[in-house]
Amino acid sequence: MSVDINRIRRRVREFDLRGLFIEELGWDYDRAKSFEAEGWTLQPIAQKRGFRVFHCASPDDDMPDRAMRQKIDGQVAKNVALEHLIVYTDAGNTQQVWQWALRQPETPVKYFTDRYEAGQSGQRLAEKLQRLHVSIDEEDRLTIIDVSQRAAQAFRRDKVTKKFYDRFAKEREELLPKIEGIPVEDDRDWYASIMLNRLMFVYFVQQKGFLNNDPHYLQTKLREVQQRQGRDQFYSFYREFLLKLFHEGLATQPPRPPEIEALLGDVPYLNGGIFDQHQ
DSSP secondary structure of 176-220: GGG--S---HHHHHHHHHHHHHHHHHHHHHHHTTTTTT-TTHHHH
What is the per-residue pLDDT across 79-103, written as a single tens digit (0 to 9) for each?
888 899 999 999 999 999 999 999 8
pLDDT at 199 over 90: no
What's the pLDDT at 1? 57
Cβ count near 240 (within 10 Å): 16
Average predicted confidence (pLDDT) for the chain: 88
What's the pLDDT at 200? 80
Q: For the residues 49-55, what does the mean pLDDT come to?
A: 93
Model confidence at 11, pLDDT cuts 50, 70, 90, reads very high
Compute the distance between CA of residue 249 and CA of residue 261 in angstroms, rounded to an integer. 8
pTM assigned to the model: 0.69
pLDDT at 20 over 80: yes
User: What is the per-residue DSSP string for 39-96?
Assistant: TEEEEEEEEETTEEEEEEE-SSS----HHHHHHHHHHHHHHT-SSEEEEEE-TTS-EE
What's the pLDDT at 165? 64
Nearest to 41 by CA among 64, 18, 20, 19: 64
pLDDT at 152 over 80: yes
Residue 75 near residue 38 (C-beta atoms within 8 A): yes
Q: Phi/psi at 119 (nearest 5 deg)?
A: 100, -20
Domain boundaries, the chain: 5-135, 158-264
